[in-house]
Amino acid sequence: MATIRPLAAEEGEALAELRRALDTETTFMLAEPGERGNELPDRSYRFIADDGGRLVGVIDVFASRWRRARGRGAIVLGVRSSHHGQGVGRGLLEAAIAQARLLGMWRLELTAMSHNRVALGLYEACGFQVEGVRRSSVCVDGEFVDEYYMGLVLHRVIPVGSRASAEGAP
């Protein structure tokens, strides 16, 4: 029977070898065989909203660097309260979606607190759908808050060079 224990600081290379072995033993890991240590270049990007030299909003899209999830990006969006309701959030989100399409990404995802009706309305208006609920996901002012996990599928094209395209998967 295996012993469960914390990883020791000096076991970094053993852990790396384990991860490489797992990548070859199963297709359930995110990394493909030989990919660890050779991640693809980062395609993450950011747009900002500028109102006369004052930054009033930002959207980050954190793109996965693994081939199996290369077309997926996680969004973080924020707009100053002074600029709510002025189209800043929509502009940032539309710019991020357009850039994702240009980069050949197939999916964007984000989370939104369940009581943030304004953000939920914006995301739904831009095509995002609630895909799940993260119960008690964050603690705000001493209260646990649920988050909706939302996604937008941009297109369902299988990237050239992937195993699925070589095997003729749908």
DSSP per residue, 77-145: EEE-GGGTTTTHHHHHHHHHHHHHHHTT--EEEEEEETT-HHHHHHHHHTT-EEEEEEEEEEEETTEEE
Per-residue pLDDT of the chain (170 residues; tens, 9 = 90+): 989 899 999 999 999 899 889 999 988 888 889 888 777 788 999 999 999 999 999 999 999 989 899 899 999 999 999 999 999 999 999 999 999 999 999 999 999 999 999 999 999 999 999 999 999 999 999 999 999 999 999 986 555 555 554 444 43
Tell me what pLDDT residue 72 has. Answer: 96
Tell me what pLDDT residue 69 has. Answer: 92
Residue with tokens 């969006």: 77
CATH fold label, 42-167: Aminopeptidase (3.40.630)
Asked if residue 90 lies in contact with residue 130, where contact means CB atoms within 8 angstroms, the answer is: no
Rg of the chain over Cα atoms, rounded to whole angstroms, equals 20
- For the record, the structure tokens of 47 come out as 């747009």
Tell me what pLDDT residue 38 has. Answer: 76
Tell me what pLDDT residue 160 has. Answer: 56
Tell me what pLDDT residue 161 has. Answer: 58
Asked if residue 87 lies in contact with residue 77, where contact means CB atoms within 8 angstroms, the answer is: no
Q: What are phi and psi of 140, to 5 degrees?
A: -120, 120
Tell me what pLDDT residue 36 has. Answer: 83
Cα separation, 152 vs 109, in Å, equals: 6
Tell me what pLDDT residue 167 has. Answer: 43
Cα separation, 122 vs 91, in Å, equals: 11
Domain ranges of the chain: 11-40, 42-167
Tell me what pLDDT residue 158 has. Answer: 59
